[in-house]
Amino acid sequence: MTDWQQRLRDAAQQRTAQVAQRTVRTVQRRDGARVWVDGRELIDFAGNDYLGLASDPRLARALRDAAAHGVGASASHLVSGHHAAHAALEQALARWLDAPRALLLGSGYAGNLAVLQGLLGRADHCIQDRLNHASLIDGARLAACTLHRYPHADAAAAERQLAHGSGAGLRLLASDGVFSMDGDVAPLAALAAACARHDALFYVDEAHALGVLGSTGAGSVAAAGLSTSQVPLRLCTFGKALGCYGAALVGDGALIEHLQQSARPYIYTTALPPALAEVAHAAVLLAQNADAERARLQALIAHLRSGAAQLGMALMPSSTPIQPLLIGDNARTVAIADALRAHGFWVGAIRPPTVPPGQARLRITLSAAHSTADIDALLDALLALAGGTDHAH
Ligand SMILES: *Cc1c(COP(=O)(O)O)cnc(C)c1O
């Protein structure tokens, strides 16, 4: 056995021992909150399709129409791949978030790398919530800056780290707006005030908030009553509530210009297919006008939480469509998720390193495409499989 084969075998054995092995399941078809996997129909409580747009016929039609003009961009934005569809989408996003400019990226992952690599270097400091998305951590590594991680949602601790990092170099504080595995909202007003006191740049990742929070779905920053002057840069992703794929940075004009000129994950990659930009543009317009879906989502969230409380199931504190049930142990979490799937419900079994050790959980996500009957059925199954008040032990 060669060295690399030995390495792979050791890693696989360790994954098995820790019940950390993950499985890819193939979706044959999706229709709203229904998915067909291995020939069986499941109600999807695992995805991020918060407004039910991923299989919306209006977007499917937009994609068909856009495809009539071809598929690929043919080059990166700065060479010859920037199309009218990209420019129109950037303008629509900037208008939606009430910011001067937007810049398209291939994905949210690339967007977070672009911001931190494009703005920070060795002498600089990046201050981050401990539970930020992995792409923000990876961006700080790529920037080779000093990374400080403060206890989750602790604005006072964040401020101490901002003060500590003062003197040499830039300071950038990055936070998820809505935390992807917990569902809670960052203390954005307190963080913005701390950044203002310490002359730091505040960057918010809106991946799970865009389309969901704020009066037109403009995200967590808008919902907190903040604007580009307090939060000069935001990440929008199209793969969650917008039901598409791709991402954009939205914010201050000088920041966007600098990133366009210097961010490697923007420069050295082919532009998003223009057809996909047209679809994302259609999704932006639908999401902006989805007040009824947002109201429905809030009603479904309230229904799940009150139902769970009546059954003695303590969901983690969250007011967003991400409603995790903490289990703790990996094997037990996977066993419950497997049993739920056998009963027709798809719920994510989230384990370390995605969450801290000992905090494996069922990540239940809601969509405007769910019905209250879907939620009642899930609650019945959860009660039978995970039990009531003692589920966490
Ligand atoms: C999903 C996600 C990303 C990555 O976005 P993609 O477009 O899927 O690459 C970034 N940040 C957060 C918080 C996310 O949840």
Distance 379 CA to ligand 1 centre (A): 28
For residue 376, what are its two tokens? 């009642």
User: Which residues partner with 201 through β-bridges?
Assistant: 172
Judge if pTM exceeds 0.85.
Answer: yes
pLDDT (average), residues 22-31: 94
CB 73 within 8 A of CB 274: yes
Residue 236, classed as helix, strand or coil, is strand
Nearest CA to ligand 1 atom 14: 207
What pLDDT sits at residue 386? 81
At residue 225's C-alpha, the angle toward residues 220 and 229, to 5°, is 95
* Protein residue closest via CA to atom 1 of ligand 1: 207
Q: What three-state secondary structure class fits 230?
A: coil
- Please compute, for residue 299, the number of CA atoms within 13 A of its CA located in the half-sphere on the CB side: 12
Residue 370 dihedral angles phi and psi, to the nearest 5°: -75, 160
pLDDT at 389: 52
Tens digit of each residue's pLDDT (9 = 90 or more) over 134-182? 999 999 999 999 999 999 999 999 999 999 766 789 999 999 999 999 9
Note the pLDDT tens digit of each residue in 326-373: 999 999 999 999 999 999 999 999 999 999 999 999 999 999 999 999
Distance 345 CA to ligand 1 centre (A): 24
Residue where the block lists tokens 């966490």 = 392
DSSP conformation class of 178: B
* Predicted local confidence at residue 388, as pLDDT: 63
Task: Look at residues 178, 205, 288 and name the one whose alpha carbon lies nearest to residue 242.
Answer: 288
Architecture field, domain 23-51+291-390: Alpha-Beta Complex (3.90)
CATH 3.40.640.10 domain position(s) in the chain: 57-288
Report the nearest atom of ligand 1 relative to the CA of 208. 15
Distance CA 266, CA 327 (A): 39
Residue closest to 213 by CA, chosen among 301, 278, 151, 308 = 301
Q: Is 60 exceeded by the pLDDT of residue 18?
A: yes
Q: In the CATH scheme, what is the code of domain 57-288?
A: 3.40.640.10
Mean per-residue pLDDT of the chain: 96
- What pLDDT, on a 0 to 100 scale, did the predictor assign at position 20? 87
What are the C-alpha distances in Å from 71 to residues 46, 143, 299? 30, 33, 39
> Measuring CA to CA, which residue among 229, 281, 218, 224 is closest to residue 255?
229
Atom 5 in ligand 1: residue holding the nearest Cα: 108
Q: In this structure, which residue's CA is closest to atom 3 in ligand 1?
A: 108
- 38-60 pLDDT, tens per residue? 889 999 999 999 999 999 999 99
Contact between residue 251 and residue 98 where contact means Cβ atoms under 8 Å apart: no
Helix (H) or strand (E) holding 301: helix 291-310
Contacts of 113 (CB under 8 A, 6+ apart): 135, 138, 139, 142, 263, 264, 265
Length of the chain counted residue by residue: 393
Percentage with pLDDT > 90 across the chain: 94
Distance between CA 42 and CA 342 in Å, rounded?
9
Q: Cβ < 6 Å from ligand 1: which residues?
A: 107-109, 112, 133, 135, 176, 180, 205, 207-208, 237, 239, 247
- In angstroms, what is the span from residue 132 Cα to ligand 1's centroid? 10
Q: What pLDDT score does 166 carry?
A: 61
Average pLDDT (231-244) is: 98
Write down the residue that tokens 């600089």 correspond to. Answer: 124
Cα 19 versus chain centre, distance: 25
Ligand 1 atom at shortest distance from the alpha carbon of 246: 7
User: By alpha-carbon position, which residue is closest to atom 7 of ligand 1?
Assistant: 108
Residue 289, classified by CB atoms within 10 Å of its CB into exposed (0-12), middle (13-18) or buried (19+), is exposed
Q: Which residues contact 278 (CB under 8 A, 6 or more apart)?
A: 62, 63, 65, 66, 85, 89
Atom number of ligand 1 nearest to Cα 238: 7
What mean pLDDT do residues 88-99 have?
A: 98
Q: Which residue minimizes the CA distance to atom 10 of ligand 1?
A: 108
Mutate to test the pocket of ligand 1, among 237, 238, 244 (most ligand atoms within 8 A of CB): 237
What are the C-alpha distances in Å from 315 to residues 129, 171, 180, 360? 22, 35, 15, 13
